[in-house]
Amino acid sequence: MINVGLRDVNEQVLGLMKAFSQLPNHIAKKHLQASMKRALKDAVPALKKNTPKAKTYIRIRKDGAVFRIAGGSLRKAVTVKSKYVNKGTFGTVYGIVGYSTVTYNQLGYGESVSQSRKAIWLESGTSRGVRPVGMISKTMSEIGSPCATRLADEMAKALEKAALEVASKKNPGRS
């Protein structure tokens, strides 16, 4: 997880966050979330690469229909999310790389066990014999510094786009 706020960030990102604080809140939120998602775009293939692939299995329904279910639903569940939390005079942007809670199999039904719970079992292991894989820690060590440098570039691009949006008065907001 990458967290960018006004309290503990480096100087380059701090200057950009101060510039975003001058913008209207709804525009700053939109562009900061988009820049965080773009900065973490390379994290998805890295996490998929570090996630072990499950074996393909056969599922037989009660009516006798046989389906071949391909393994790898945990890999398909890799996602990037960004969240903006407004804290009065300043906001914080969170970027989260992880596993979505529900994935859909080939039949179109949601899996009964959430993929995020399955990922926690694989990451830290269980007392019943699942060995820890450490896929999140491997991924964060691979993508940590490249994503941090890319974040500053994406925030600078987003600031230019946000300034153009404010100048065009295309999105005035509710007030």
Tell me how far apart the alpha carbons of residues 65 and 78 are, in angstroms, rounded to a whole number. Answer: 30
Judge whether 174 lies within some domain. no
The domain total for the chain is 1
User: What is the reported pLDDT for 111?
Assistant: 55
- Residue 82 domain-assigned (yes or no): yes
User: pTM for the whole thing?
Assistant: 0.72
Domain annotation covers residue 127: yes
37 within some domain: yes
Is residue 143 in some structural domain? yes
CA atoms within a 13 Å half-sphere pointing along the CA-CB vector of 86: 11
User: Is residue 134 included in any domain, yes or no?
Assistant: yes
Tokens (6 digits) for 85: 């939390």
Q: Is residue 175 part of a domain?
A: no
pLDDT tens readout for residues 71-86 = 777 888 888 888 888 7
Report phi then psi at 89, rounded to 5. -85, -15
Q: Is 6 domain-assigned?
A: yes
Q: Residue 86 sits in which domain range?
A: 2-168
Question: What pLDDT digit, counting tens, does each position of 113-131 carry?
Answer: 567 777 777 888 888 888 8
